[in-house]
Structures are given as C-alpha cells and as structure tokens.
Structure 1
Amino acid sequence: MTSTTETTSVSEKPPAAGVRAGLFRDPFRYLMDAAARHDGLVRIGPALLNVYVVSHPDYIRRILVTNAANYPKGSMMAPFRTALGNGLVTSEGDYWKRQRRLMQPAFHSEQLQAMEAHIAGCVERAVERWRRAAAQGTPLDIMEEGTRLNVEIVLGTLFSTSLDVERAERLRALTSQVFAGLASKVWTFFVPDRLPLPGATAYRRAVAELDAEVYRIIAERRTAATRPRDLLGLLLDAEHADTGERMSDLQLRDEVFTLFMAGYETTATGTTWICYELARHPEIADAVAGELDRAGVRTLPAFAELSQLGYQRRVIDEAFRLHPAFPIWFRTAVDADILGSYRLPENAKIIVNPHITHRDPRFWEDPEAFDPDRFTPDRFDSARRHAYYPFGKGSRVCIGERLAVTITQMVVSALVRNFEFTIVEGFEVIPRYVVTCQPKGGLPLVLRER
C-alpha cells in the first residue's frame, strides 16, 4: 500500500470542517466525524481557534517522529498539567529526556518479571469474585471490575504492600474525581477565557487532596528503614548518570501521579473493550482459550509464557486498533510546517487522532470488522504498521506499554480460561470520552463457568 500524499504543490490551506452546534455540545463526537470526512487533516471551527485534527499516518509521522521538536505538547495540555504537573506525559525538552532516562530501567523486562507474582495474585482474587457472580447469575460490570483490579495492580506495582485497603480506596476515589475534572477541562481551549468554568473549584480540591496523599507516601518511604523494590523504590533510588542527582519530592509526585492515573485507567479501559469484542465474537474467545490449552497454561500464564500467546496478542492489538484507550492526543506547532500538500501555520493547535487513523479504509481492509488476523506477519505490513500507534510513535512512545500489555494479557487469559460471557441483553454500548474512551454506563456482562 502506498502513501496518498505525494504532491508537487505545497500551497494549499487545510480544508475547514465548519462550525456546528456539535462542536460545543459534544466536541469529541464532532472531531471524530470531522476527521473521518476529510483527507487526514482538517481545520476545526472559526479561524481564531487555529485547531487542526490530524489523522493521516504520513502527517502523524511528521508530527511525532521526523519533526517532533516542532510539535511539543504546548498550551493544549494545560488542563492536564494541573493534575500531572511536569510528569512524563506533560513535560518537554531536556527535562523530559532526563526524566525518561531516569525512569526507563524501572520498566525493563527483569522488573516486569519481578511484578509477576503481585499481578497474578490480584488477578486470582478477581477471578474468585467473578466466580461468585457467575454462580449467582449476577451481571458484572467489567469496566468497574477492571478498574478495581487495575487500581490494585498499579498501587501494588507502585507502592508494594505499604498501603492498607482504606488508603488504597481513598486514592482510587480521589483519582476518579481528578479524571472527571480532567474530562471536563480538555475542551476548554474552545471556550473564551472570560467565561467561568463549572467544577473548577472541585477539581482543584481533588488534585490538592490527592497531592497530600502522594506526598505522605513519599515522605514515609524516604524515612523507612527498608525500601521495597517497587516502582516508587526504583524512582527514589534512580540517579542521573552524569551528576548522581536524584529526584526531588516534587518530581516524584509528578511521576507517581502520572503513572498511577495513566496506568490503571488505560489498562481498565483496554480490558473492557477487549471483553466487548470477545462477547460479540465468542468463537474468537474460544480460540484464545484453545491457545492457552495448547501452550500448557493451566491457570495464569507466567511472564515467560506470554510471548507464546501470539493469537491472544493479535486479539489485543486488534482491540487497541478499534478502541485506542486515548483516542486523541494534543500537540502545538511552534513554527509553520508542511504536511503533505498543506501549509500549517505557526502556533497551530494539533489534535492527533489515532481513533480515525486506525479505521481509515485506505490503510485497513474492512476497517470496522474485528479481525485479529490482520496482525499476522504477512498482513501487518509496513503501511499498516505506519497507520497503527495506540501507544504513540517516536521517542515519546508510552514508557509503560510493556507493563500495560503484560497486565492485559494476564487479565484476558484469566477471563477466557474461566468464563464464557455475553453482554446483558438490551444494553446499548455507547462510547464516551472521559480522557480515555469508555462505554457509557460501563459494560455489564453475564458470566458462565467455562
């Protein structure tokens, strides 16, 4: 498959989507519709907004890889910085590079393998809850359950066993409040500065309360006699290669905030959409279970066995294609640039749109179909790899990708090994944007022992 952007002219302005009421009533759906109707680049709203939605993979590569220095996160990330501070998701330039180098060893294979027992224990406890629901015939909201499970997993990988149940639940509740506040703030660049924004006080209060909890945990860990080798312990001990400098409490706060909030929400959302697709395609769920049998996996796969589960991984990749947890990202063009045949002005606000890229029929055959085998080596060629980026591209690809996929594989294995499941009859699955993209009202499933 070849690029569609070869051109001899570079003087065109990107097409405009026009302004309709939907822009302000439901910005996410409006952006999805506008991106799908245009050729990978479209200007949104009145010219004064200077907002562009980008989905063509050639343009995405220009923004995220070959000219990434011209496209920092910029002002559109301001609502996120209120909560995440200067963590990996929001920081820029040399500071980001330094933090990335400091944190990278915490996500190496040997550290992921060291987390195996904790992840498995969390999943096994969840399976017992799910067995009780199956025996009673009680529908299970897998979004709620996935959130509960992944909070337990992420808290454990971050903080080991240093948190009691009550404190962990407080962290989860505060994080949910912060996420809700973030979701309402994402689109504030569409709103004139003079207009007051509802919920701002509650949002700041939730961030402050979560701040206080995280700082208390950091202070306790610094003074502890022994230090567990969890993620927080690794971050506390991380030293800059040149100076020997370690992270300050503020830096630790920002990174812990980022890892916790991004970690559990992303994985819970991904698991939910995988369950949605497997419930709609029980023959694929059966095939995933059959692969576990052939691999000799009796309960949960060990970390070393995950690489043997090629079909399961293709199922996960296909679910991430159709339902990327973060369906839009933000960048700002520092200088004017050329994308294909289009001129992009300086200070353009960029909305990168993997949701539409992953469904573009120019790059994906029958793109709305759930087809895990499109990720087999003979079909997942360079053009399709070019058009697939659920965890990002270039130097800023998600640092936690391997951990997220590992957790997802363990959870999916547990579900298909133990249960068959269907969506509650009559329940309508409607995607909604709350920083991640989730099914509105969760996803109620009826489980039966396999």
Structure 2
Amino acid sequence: MSVSPRVPSSVTSSSLRPARSVDEVPGPTGGPLVAARRLRGEPLSQLTALTRQYGPLVRLVRRPVSMFLVSDPEAVADALVTHQRCYGKGAVLRGPGSRQRVVQPLRLMLGDGLLTSSGQAHLRQRRLLQPLFHRERIAGYCEQFATLAAATAATWQDGQRLDIHTEMTELTLAIVARTLFDVDLDDQVVDVVRAALAEAMAGPAVRQAGLPGLGELARLPLPAVRRRRATREALDRTVYELIAARRATGEVGTDLLSLLLAARDADTGEPMSDTQIRDEAVTLLLAGHETTANALTWTFHLLGEAPEVAAKLHAELDGVLGDRLPTFADLSRLTYTDAVLQEAMRLYPPVWAMVRHLVEDRVVAGYQLPAGSTLLFSQWVIHRDECWWPEPERFDPARWLEPAGGAASSRPRFAYFPFGAGTRQCIGNTFAVAEGVLALATIARDWTLTPAADVPVQLEPSVTLRPRGGVPMIAHRRR
C-alpha cells in the first residue's frame, strides 16, 4: 500500500472551501465483507495506513450503510462536543426490509447503563451518578488507591515473573469494589466478574465497530452465544445479591449502591428498579476497572522498554514521596508521573476507537455525508498522527511538560481524547487519572519492572486495547 504525505486537517478545514460530495470521499475498493476481513486481521495498522494514504476521511464501506473512518480533530470536536446532538451512539446496520437499526455490542452484557444509554435517559443517569466523582469525593478515595496498590505489590518477590496485566486488573477491580461499592469481593465473585468482562470484551474489532458480518451471530444458538448468556446470568445473580444484601441492612452510605437505592425520579418520585440499579452497577464495575487496568499495564510495559524514562520517574518519586505512600495532595506535585501516564494513554489509548452515526445530513471533514452514515473515530490513529505528534511512535512524557508556546499550544484540542468528550465523556475520567497516577507512584516507588524477553507483547483491539496473552515482566525491588 503506497503512502502519500498528508496535509494537517486544520489546513483542509471545511470552513475554507465548499463541502464536497459524499461520492468524492476516497477509500479502498471492496464491499463490507472485504472491509470486515481487513479490520478482522490487524485493524490498528490497517486504519493507520488508510489514514496516511487517503487523508482525514476514508470511506470504509459503501453499502448497505456507508461507513467512514474520521481522523480530523475538528470533526471529533464537532461530533463529541459542538454538535453532538447530530450524532447518535453506535453503528447503523441495515435490517430486514431496508430498516436501519443501531448496534451496540456492549449492551449484551451491560444492559442500559450509563455507557450504553442515550438521550434523556443518559443525561438523567449521568446527573444522578456525577456526585460520586466530585473532587472532594475523589480526594477521599485516594488513600484507598495507594493502600490497595501497596497491598498488591507487597505480594511480589524480588526477581519474580509477573503478568502485569493480571496484576493491574486485580488491583483496579479491588479499587472499584472498595471505593464505589464499599465491599471486598471474594474469590467467587471475582471469578464471575472476570468471566463477564472477558465475554463483554471478546470478539474481533469488526464486531465491536459494528461492521456487517459478525454482529448477526449474536442471535444464533451457537456455543459462544450460550456461554455469553450463561455468563450474564451468573453476573446478574451476583449483582442482585449485592443489591438485596444492601437493602436488607438498611444502611445508608455514600457509595454507588447506596446512591442508586436512595435515588428517586424527579417527576414521579419513584425509586429506580432493580434492573436499572443492576445496569448502572455492572457498567461501573466492569468498565470502571478495565480501562484503568489497561492504562497501567501499557504504562509499565513502556517504562520497561525505556529505562531512561523510568529513571526520571523514580527520581521524582524519591524526591516527592521518600518512604511514604502518595496522597491526594501529591497529585499536583507528581507532574512527571502524570506525564508518563498521559503519554502511555496517547500511545496505547485504553479505548482505541468509538463509533457514532449521523442522525441528519452533515458536513464532516469537508464532505457532505448523509444521515445514517456510520463514523469511526480512532484514538489510536489520531494519537499517533505525525501532523500533531512529532516522532509519534516515541514514548516521550516530556511532551506533556512543554512550556507555553511549545508544540502543545498549536495542537488541536482533540488530537488527544482518551476519555472522549462532551456529555458522553467518561464520567470517571478524573477518578481514573488520580487512580492511575497514585497506583503508578505507589508501585514504581518500590519496584522496577523489566520485560520478560522470551515473550513478545501483542495487541488485542476489541472494545478496549488489551494485551493478547498478557504482559510478562520481571519485578526488581528498589527498596
């Protein structure tokens, strides 16, 4: 595939010239099955190559419903913030009798929680849950972030071989359970949650992106479909038992379950149903720890490949923390630690792509696109775009410490959007960053992790960007 130089989207902005016809959108030849095969193989490299060859808007599928890859930061801003009401969540597929339907694969496991709901229902639920993530509440969580991270690392031995992805997944699950649910999960519950998460995140990128081909399999009586249904039933039993136990005690706390049980509809005064409570609880339990676990995993992987960056990180931690655990007050002082995490999320965004569909005709990246078009916005592609990131493949936390007037000042706001934006921005983004920085600081204060040279790390782009087969590393005690 030939690659041609690409002009920054700010230069080709639709505001500088009339919109071009949808028929002029460039892209590779082939129908939906060809596109599905292309993305089923190596979607990250394929999407990157397509953007470099064709530009900030690429037609992926022409029929039955047009699908486009969008890599223009201005278009991201339009879709997620400026005119977000013109864009619906999920992909549009053509159904029987030419009907169109919106597909969200995650709904199979999460139900209609904050991540999958839309419209007024989403706004109502977001307002309800927002107090959990206010600054003063997060300050109260920070002690648990550091304490649980220290407890995880306390089980390691000097020279021990670890799968750091497993370690970070267990840690972030414990953090979500303790801070948002006020419980400690036993092994049986952890196994149920782990199985549910695996099923929710399972499947090739083509299914998660909503491309025709594999999405219809979810309705067939296949072994994988039966397994997914059984996993959801086990998860439901677990969550409903937590809800029943909390109702039985009558205790009123400040955690998620207490907040949901006490909530009342603003118009009718009715409490939330157990199904509604279940959907919100499962969404935060699964999605709330998966993305942070991935962010920390990739951070340690990158640090292991860049000892000079690890040395700078350790120097900051030694100077700021000494022998104590980090606290909420340290967040403003751990500037390099924060930069390391931000740079890791640039290179390995926990959510590597998001899908929207147009609910009306709209100009996108200079082209007039029809209602019903499906748009794929990829953080992976945009975060590694050389138009905005010099030497985009290089792990360089100093990008986030640039003085005023540096490269960052001319970079579009949405050249970086690991948590999305607008009213659908991850509600726990501040929680996740504080958790990530303090967990990273706690562990890196006492440990250096180096790669296990015999196993190459592989990417698994599903709903989130996970490592296929884990990330084996060797733990070396610093203290």
- Return the TM-score normalized by structure 2: 0.87
Which amino acid in 2 is paired with 1:79? P
Aligned residue in 2 for 1:70: 86
2:308 matched to which residue of 1? 283
Which residue is 2:117 aligned to? 91
Alignment of 1:19-418 (within 5 A): 19=30, 20=34, 22-23=37-38, 25-26=40-41, 28-29=43-44, 30-75=46-91, 77-130=103-156, 132=157, 134=158, 137-161=159-183, 163-180=185-202, 185-187=207-209, 189-191=211-213, 196=220, 198=222, 199-239=224-264, 244-376=269-401, 377-378=403-404, 379=406, 380-381=408-409, 383-418=411-446
Quote the Cα distance in structure 1 between the aligned partners of 2:352 and 2:301: 17
Q: Unaligned regions of 5+ residues in structure 2, if any?
A: 1-7, 92-101
- The alpha-carbon distance between structure 1 residues 408 and 180, as it changes in their structure 2 partners (threshold 3 A), is same
Offset of residue 391 of structure 1? 0.4
Residue 5 of structure 1 and its aligned partner are, at CA, apart by 2.4
Aligned equivalents of 1:255, 1:181: Cα separation in 2: 23
Look up the SS of the partner of 1:103 in the other structure: helix
Tell me what 2:470 maps to.
Answer: 442
Question: Whole-Å Cα distance in 1 between the matches of residues 185 and 414 of structure 2?
Answer: 42
Contact kept in structure 2, 1:143 and 1:443, CA below 8 Å: yes
Following TM superposition, by how much is the alpha carbon of 1:72 offset from its aligned partner in structure 2, in angstroms? 1.3
Deviates more, 1:359-368 or 1:5-14: 5-14
Q: Distance in 1 between matches of 2:149 and 2:62?
A: 49
Q: Retained in 2: the 8 A contact 1:235–1:247?
A: yes
Aligned mates of 1:244, 1:310 — CA distance in 2: 46
State the match for 1:431 in structure 2: 459
Alpha-carbon shift at residue 316 of structure 1 (Å): 0.9
Q: Is the Cα–Cα contact under 8 Å of residues 68 and 373 in structure 2 kept in the other structure?
A: yes
Conservation of the 8 A alpha-carbon contact between 2:27 and 2:54: no
2:20 alignment counterpart: 11
The answer on whether the counterparts of 2:192 and 2:231 sit within 8 Å (CA) in structure 1 is no
Provide the residue aligned with 2:4 in structure 1. Answer: none
Q: Is the alpha carbon distance of 1:197 and 1:39 closer, same or farther for their aligned partners in structure 2, counting shifts above 3 Å? A: farther
- Larger mean CA deviation between 106-115 and 256-265 belongs to 106-115
Provide the rounded CA distance (Å) in 2 between the counterparts of 1:231 and 1:382.
40
Q: Which secondary structure does the structure 1 equivalent of 2:106 belong to?
A: helix
Letter in 1 for 2:424: R
SS in 2 for 1:438: strand
Distance 1:138 1:258 in 2: 34
Q: Which amino acid aligns with 2:181?
A: F
Aligned residues, how many?
Answer: 446
CA distance in 2, matches of 1:2, 1:47: 27
Deviation at 1:145, TM superposition (A): 0.8
Give the percent of matched residue pairs that are identical in Structure 1 and Structure 2. 35
Q: Which deviates more from structure 2 when the two are superposed, residues 163-172 or residues 256-265?
A: 163-172
Moved more, 398-407 or 187-196: 187-196
Cα distance in 1 between the residues matched to 2:118 and 2:216: 28
Change (3 A) 1:325 1:77: farther
CA distance in 1, matches of 2:462, 2:370: 29
Tell me, yes or no, if the aligned pair for 1:24 and 1:190 is still in contact at 8 Å: no
Contact 1:155-1:260 at 8 Å conserved across structures = yes
Q: In the aligned structure 2, how far is the partner of 1:388 from the partner of 1:187?
A: 20
The amino acid across from 1:67 in the alignment is H
Alignment partners' CA distance in 2, 1:45 and 1:213: 41
The answer (yes or no) to whether the contact 1:65–1:394 under 8 Å persists in 2 is yes
Unaligned 5+ segments in structure 1 are none
Relative to structure 2, which stretch is displaced further, 271-280 or 39-48? 39-48
Q: Distance in 2 between matches of 1:25 and 1:237?
A: 44
What's the TM-score, normalizing by structure 1? Answer: 0.92
Give the Cα separation in 1 of the matches to 2:40 and 2:203. Answer: 17
